[in-house]
Amino acid sequence: MTRLVQKFGGTSVADLDLIRAAAGRVKREVDAGHQVAVVVSAMAGVTNQLVELADSVSAMYDAREYDVIVSTGEQASAGLMAMALQDLGVPARSWMGWQIPLNTDDVHGRARITGVGMDELDRRLSSGEVAVVAGFQGIGSGGRITTLGRGGSDTTAVALAAATGAERCDIYTDVDGVYTSDPRIVARARKLDKITYEEMLEMASLGAKVLQTRAVELAMKEGVRLQVLSSFNNSPGTLVVGEEEIMEQVLVSGIAYSRDEAKVTLTRVADRPGVAAAVFGPLAEADINVDMIVQNVAADEKTTDITFTVTRRDLQRAVDVLEKNRDHLGFGDLLSASDVVKVSVIGVGMRSHAGVAQSMFKALADRGINIQVISTSEIKVSVLIDEEYTELALRALHGAYGLDAD
Ligand code: ADP
Ligand code: ASP
Ligand code: MG
Enumerate the H helices of 194-233 as residue ranges. 197-205, 213-222
Q: Which atom of ligand 1 is nearest to the CA of 44?
A: 2
In terms of Cα–Cα distance, which of 47, 110, 114 is closest to 75?
Answer: 47
Max Cα separation, the chain? 78
How far away, in angstroms, is 175 Cα from ligand 1 center? 7
CB contact at 8 A, 95 and 134: yes
Give CA–CA dist 396/5, Å, rounded: 38
| pLDDT in the model for residue 249 | 74
User: Sheet containing 113-116: which strands, arranged edge to edge?
Assistant: 113-116, 102-104, 137-139, 145-147
CA distances from 26 to 79, 83, 131, 181, 397 (A): 15, 13, 11, 29, 39
User: Which domains are seen in the chain, by residue range?
Assistant: 3-174 (3.40.1160.10), 262-337 (3.30.70.260)
Residue 34 sits at φ, ψ, to 5 deg, of -90, 150
Give CA–CA dist 98/314, Å, rounded: 30
Q: What residues are in contact with ligand 2 under a 6 Å CB criterion?
A: 9-10, 41-42, 47, 73, 135-136, 150-154
- For residue 112, the tally of other CB atoms under 10 A from its CB is 16
**Which of 169, 173, 186, 253, when mutated, tests ligand 1's pocket best, judged by the most ligand atoms within 8 Å of its CB?**
173
Give CA–CA dist 287/279, Å, rounded: 14
Residue ranges in the chain modelled with pLDDT below 70: none
How far away, in angstroms, is 93 Cα from ligand 2 center? 21
Residue 159 sits at φ, ψ, to 5 deg, of -60, -40
Which H or E element spans position 167?
none
Give CA–CA dist 348/199, Å, rounded: 7
Q: Which ligand is nearest to the CA of 174?
A: 1
Residue 145 sits at φ, ψ, to 5 deg, of -70, 135
How far away, in angstroms, is 83 Cα from ligand 2 center? 21
| pLDDT in the model for residue 324 | 95
Exposure b/e, 328-348, CB count within 10 A at least 16 = b = ebebeeeeebbebbbbbbbbb
| pLDDT in the model for residue 349 | 86
CA distances from 52 to 48, 59, 66, 67, 145 (A): 6, 10, 10, 13, 19
Which H or E element spans position 134?
strand 130-134
Exposure b/e, 285-307, CB count within 10 A at least 16 = b = eeebebbbeeeeeeeeeebbbbb
How far away, in angstroms, is 210 Cα from ligand 1 center? 3
Give CA–CA dist 210/168, Å, rounded: 17
Which H or E element spans position 117?
none
pLDDT digits (tens, 9 = 90+) for 221-239: 999 999 999 999 999 999 9
